[in-house]
Structure 1
Amino acid sequence: MAGIIESSPAHQNFSRYDIRVITKFSAILGKDASCIHKDLVAVLGKNAPSIETVRKWVKAVSEGQDDMEDEPRPGRPVTACGDANISKVLVSLSDDRRKTCEEISTETSMSRTSVLRVLTKKLNNKKKFSK
C-alpha cells in the first residue's frame, strides 16, 4: 500500500473496523506488523493506530481470530453527554445561568459528574475562578 496510495483526506475516513480488516488482510499475505504499520501511517497519517495495536491485531490473526469487531466491555456505556441530557442542562440553565452543578443535578436527576461533563465537554463552559 505504501507508495501506491497517497495520503489525503479522502483516505483518512477509515473506521476502526476497516483498519482491522486491512491489517488482517496484510497479515494473511505474510506482512509483519512493522510493515503493516508503516503502510497504515503512509495512508492514515496521525490517524493510524499505534505499532503496539497493530502487533496485537496481527497476533490475533495469527492465532486464528476471525472476528474483527470490538469485544463487548463490562460497565455502562458513556451516554451522559447525549442530546437528551444536553437539552436538560440547557433548559435548567435557561432559568438561571448561575446555578451550581448540584442544583442542576437535583433538577435534572443526573449525577453531578454527568452535569459537569456536559457543561465542560459539550457546552464548553469554563469554570471561572475568583481572586
Structure 2
Amino acid sequence: MDKIEYRAVIKFLTKEGVAPKDIDDRLRAVYGERAPSYATLKLWAKQFKWGRESLEDDPRSGRPIEATAPDMVEKIEHLVHENPRMSKKVLAAMFDVSERSIFRILHEKLLMRKVCSRWIPRTLNKSQKEERVAAAHEFLELLEWNEGDTFERIVTGDETRIYYYDPEPKSQTMEWHKRGEPASKMPRKQIATNK
C-alpha cells in the first residue's frame, strides 16, 4: 500500500474522532508490519486534526534530485574531457552540487575512475623515432650479413644524462579515464640543478 493511502485512512479516521492509538491498532490489524510507525501516525493525525487537507509531503528546501539529471551528466562529461585533471571539489563548486553527487555521476553514470599518469623517461619527436627505426633496420641487415660474431663486436653506450628531478606529487598526475582506458603517459620535465 502506498503512503498516500495510509495517510488517507489516518485522515478519515481522525476526522471521525478516532484516537491515534486506536488508529494504530486498526492499521496493524489490517496491514501488519507494512503499516506506518506509531510516531508517523501520530504526526499525521495531529496535522489532520489541526486542519491539514493535503496528503502529499510538503515541499522541502534544499537541493532537488536533479543533480544527476542527463544534462548535468553531459556538462560534467564535457568538462572532464577538456581537462581530465579536474577535481571533484572544483566540479562541485562549478555546478553548486555536493562532491558526493559529482562522485556518483563520474563513477556510476560515466563509468570513470581517477588514474595516475604513467611515467616514461622521455618522449621522442618524429625524427628521433625515425632514427631509431633506421638504426634497428641497419642492425638487422648487419646481423643477416654476418651472424656469427656480430654480437661480439657490439659496443654499447648512451649519451643521455641522468638528472635529479623534482617529481610531481601523485595527486597532480591523476586524471579521469573511462574504465578500460589506459593511463596517459607523462615524461619527467622538471630538472633540478644537480646531475
* TM category, shorter: 0.5 to 0.7
Q: Secondary structure at the match of 2:102?
A: helix
Structure with greater proportional helix content: 1
Contact kept? 1:20, 1:68, Cα under 8 Å: yes
Cα 1:40–1:83 shift into 2, 3 Å = farther
Residue ranges of structure 1 left out of the alignment (5+ in a row):
1-10
Partner amino acid, structure 2, of 1:66: E
Contact kept? 1:104, 1:115, Cα under 8 Å: no
Q: What residue is the counterpart of 1:43 in the other structure?
A: 31
Matches within 5 A, 1:25-36: 25-36=12-23
One of 69, 75, 80 as aligned partner of 1:88: 75
Aligned length: 110
Q: What residue is the counterpart of 1:110 in the other structure?
A: 95
| Residues 54-92 of structure 1, C-alpha deviations (whole Å, 9 max, x = no match) | 10111222233333333344x444243333222222333
Structure with greater proportional strand content: 2
Matches within 5 A, 1:4-83: 11=1, 14=2, 16-37=3-24, 39=27, 43=31, 45=33, 48-73=35-60, 75-78=61-64, 79-83=66-70
d(CA) in 2 for partners of 1:23, 1:43: 13
Higher Cα Rg, which structure:
2
Percent pairwise identity = 19
d(CA) in 1 for partners of 2:63, 2:31: 31
Partner amino acid, structure 1, of 2:43: K
- Between the two structures, name the one with larger relative contact order (CA 8 Å, sep ≥ 6): 2
